[in-house]
Amino acid sequence: RPIPVWDQNTPSQASDHAKANGNVVRTRFPPEPNGYLHIGHAKSMNMNFSLAFEKLGVAPENRETYFRYDDTNPEKESKEYIDSLLNDLTWLGWKPAKTTYSSESFEFLHDCAVKLIKKGLAYVCFLTKEEVEKQREVLKKRVAVIAKGGDPDKQCESVSTDIFPGKYRNTSIADNLRLFEDMRKGKFPEGHCTLRMKMDITSPNPNMHDSMAYRIKYTRHPHAGDGWCMYPSYDFTHCIIDSLEGIDYSICTLEFETRRESYYWLLWALDLYKPRVYEMSRLNIAHTVLSKRRLLKLVESKTVRGWDDPRMPTISGLRRRGYTKECLNTFCNDIGATRNMNLVEVNRLEQAARVCLADVARRAMAVVDPVKVTISNFSGESKTCTVPNFPQNPALGSHDVIFTPTFYIDSADVKPEADANFFGFAPTQLVGLKYADIKVRCDEVKVSGGKVVEVTCSVTDEDTKPKSYLTWVSAVHNIPCEVRKYDHLFSVPEPSDKWEEEVNASSEVVYSSALVDPSVASLCNAGLTDKWKSNNAFQFERIGYFVVDDDTTYVAETGKGKIVFNSIVSLKEDVAK
């Protein structure tokens, strides 16, 4: 089969675009406002705003990326999504050369459709949905027979000519123009007819089997308003707008590869400038789903707290989880953009977070599940301890924390019986208290109802070195808080078709009586204007990285309200997982 005349992946050299653009190389990022952006989109943004230009060797001053709302499905789109897209893109630090809406070109797209009809390359089709499906099936079987060198007229079951070659393919141009005008004027009910492109029903590529260009929808458009009762399809819109905007490289994900031919067919049919098309693999991350449709279901079923739930792989979720834009962009650079299909381990994202947080999240002490400890022989009432903000870099200062003879430690640091492999509080065990320069020997671990409730111990000045130095929070000087610990959203690495049943039931565990040292107070204020500055993230010593959540109502001046912390990532990779 010879390569069809339209199927050439080269830009039209003589186009006005090529002349007008000069040295500028233009890409675009075209999300549909039918949900929030996720980490897969971050990969696409990184490619379109940066990596593609690096690969091509385009000088920074010659780079242009358009941010385009691919908004042709009004029933799934909304103002909320439109706003969130821009918000997330801006937060990630990308600056579009221009922001466009496909819907602002509805008039132009309509004119293209009329032009196509006039060329005899589009027709209004009244086949029912079932008939169109039947037709697709028949065409598929026929091309399969052709591919094997057979004769489809002899080898395929005979069907009505309404289905093959299709009842409406040969309507006159004049009638098609009138019928399309009737569609636009709202003379037909929804689903009654569509405008289809008259492509190539003998093509082995099913995307060439007269794909739909316009369908009737009596839905108000969230951006264009009330002007339309029919809307163009993705296949019809995408290439025309790429062309109209003078895009040099139209980068999409691999599942669109089979649509390349229809992309070029339409631009050929309309005699429009042809961009270059490039496909890269879709990002998939283990233990999560990267599909707006699925993420929407999680939101609607209230499985999560919303689009910005800290477990969500959305940009807003990752932001609320404490991921900085540097971290997300570093991750995207690390994974790169190739055609290889791959499932990226969550740990690669987590490792990017650890690297970014190490230098910005200062130390603090917290106990997530507190157990009270009392020293029986402590002299004095308290002791002021100096804690370095970043032990690896003393130049970044320190803060004071007050130690008192009654304090709290985490329940994970106590056991009712001594154990050779356990270095926390257990009867007779010697432990050090971090930053307090105090060694204590455990006298008693009180248990009630099978649970450790209290520990008593005494200061000792013996010469033995403790096996561990535990973190603590004073019983007098502390701030109560809520700590939300997060784990994978899905219990399996690759959620299947039954993904809704594979949600990890303990992906969020809430500790409502946690305590944190008061040094964090002013940095946790609910009124902080730039909430997502790195100073809202802390390394809780020995526990992990945590960030102040949006649900925080705490006001440092009055001490009223609640602080909520989200776990960002553990200190080290959890090898057990």
Site for Mg ion, rule CB under 5 A: 32
Three-class SS state of 169: coil
Residue 32 or 245 with smaller CB distance to Mg ion: 32
The DSSP symbol for 465 reads P
Which of 43, 142, 260, 292 is catalytic? The answer is 292
Residue 291 or 468 with smaller CB distance to Mg ion: 291
Q: Is the CB of residue 85 less than 8 Å from the CB of residue 118?
A: no
Residue 45 or 58 with smaller CB distance to Mg ion: 45
Tally Cβ neighbours within 10 Å of residue 334.
13
Residue closest to 77 by CA, chosen among 234, 195, 220, 266:
220
Q: At a CB cut-off of 8 Å and minimum separation 6, what does 230 contact? A: 183, 184, 195, 214, 215, 216, 217
To ligand ATP, the closest distance from the beta carbon of 254 in angstroms equals: 9
Q: How far is CA 60 from the centre of its chain?
A: 27
Q: Which does 568 bind (CB under 5 to 8 A by kind): ligand ATP, Mg ion, none?
A: none
To Mg ion, the closest distance from the beta carbon of 44 in angstroms equals: 10
- The C-alpha atoms of residue 272 and residue 119 are separated, in whole angstroms, by 14
Q: Which does 415 bind (CB under 5 to 8 A by kind): ligand ATP, Mg ion, none?
A: none
Q: Which two tokens stand for residue 316?
A: 């807003």
Q: Which does 28 bind (CB under 5 to 8 A by kind): ligand ATP, Mg ion, none?
A: none
Residue 35 or 544 with smaller CB distance to ligand ATP: 35
Supply angle C-alpha 314, 320, 321, rounded to 5: 85
Find the helix or strand (DSSP H, E) in which 176 lies: helix 173-185
Residue closest to 211 by CA, chosen among 166, 152, 173:
166
To ligand ATP, the closest distance from the beta carbon of 488 in angstroms equals: 17
Three-class SS state of 234: helix
Q: Is the CB of residue 360 less than 8 Å from the CB of residue 547?
A: no
To ligand ATP, the closest distance from the beta carbon of 392 in angstroms equals: 35
Residue 291 or 303 with smaller CB distance to ligand ATP: 291
Parallel/antiparallel/unpaired status of strands 122-125 and 366-367: unpaired
Which of 282, 531, 542, 562 is catalytic? The answer is 282
To ligand ATP, the closest distance from the beta carbon of 339 in angstroms equals: 12
Residue 30 or 424 with smaller CB distance to ligand ATP: 30
Three-class SS state of 444: strand
Residue 53 or 180 with smaller CB distance to ligand ATP: 53
To Mg ion, the closest distance from the beta carbon of 35 in angstroms equals: 8
Report which residue's Cβ sits closest to Mg ion: 32
Q: How distant, in Å, are the alpha carbons of 73, 117, 140, 216, 545 from that of 132?
A: 20, 20, 12, 16, 55
Residue 282 or 542 with smaller CB distance to ligand ATP: 282
Q: Given the rule CB under 6 A, which residues bind ligand ATP?
A: 30-32, 40-41, 43-44, 70, 252-253, 282-283, 290-292
Is residue 75 annotated as part of the catalytic site, yes or no? Answer: no
Q: Which does 167 bind (CB under 5 to 8 A by kind): Mg ion, ligand ATP, none?
A: none
Q: Which does 41 bind (CB under 5 to 8 A by kind): Mg ion, ligand ATP, none?
A: ligand ATP
Residue closest to 287 by CA, chosen among 348, 357, 356, 354:
348
Q: Which two tokens stand for residue 484?
A: 């939300």
Residue closest to 481 by CA, chosen among 563, 543, 567, 540:
563
Which of 32, 64, 77, 261 is catalytic? The answer is 32
Residue closest to 69 by CA, chosen among 259, 311, 245:
245
To ligand ATP, the closest distance from the beta carbon of 551 in angstroms equals: 27
Beta bridge partners of 410: 370
- The C-alpha atoms of residue 114 and residue 270 are separated, in whole angstroms, by 10
Q: Which does 508 bind (CB under 5 to 8 A by kind): Mg ion, ligand ATP, none?
A: none
Q: Which does 74 bind (CB under 5 to 8 A by kind): ligand ATP, Mg ion, none?
A: none
To Mg ion, the closest distance from the beta carbon of 253 in angstroms equals: 9
Is residue 383 annotated as part of the catalytic site, yes or no? Answer: no
Residue closest to 32 by CA, chosen among 67, 63, 56:
67
To Mg ion, the closest distance from the beta carbon of 47 in angstroms equals: 15
- The C-alpha atoms of residue 41 and residue 30 are separated, in whole angstroms, by 10
Residue 81 or 554 with smaller CB distance to ligand ATP: 81
Is residue 64 annotated as part of the catalytic site, yes or no? Answer: no
Q: Which does 177 bind (CB under 5 to 8 A by kind): ligand ATP, Mg ion, none?
A: none
| Cis amide bond preceding 30, omega within 30 | no
Q: Which two tokens stand for residue 118?
A: 């006039």
Q: Which does 166 bind (CB under 5 to 8 A by kind): ligand ATP, Mg ion, none?
A: none
Report which residue's Cβ sits closest to ligand ATP: 40
User: Active-site residues: which are they?
Assistant: 32, 282, 292
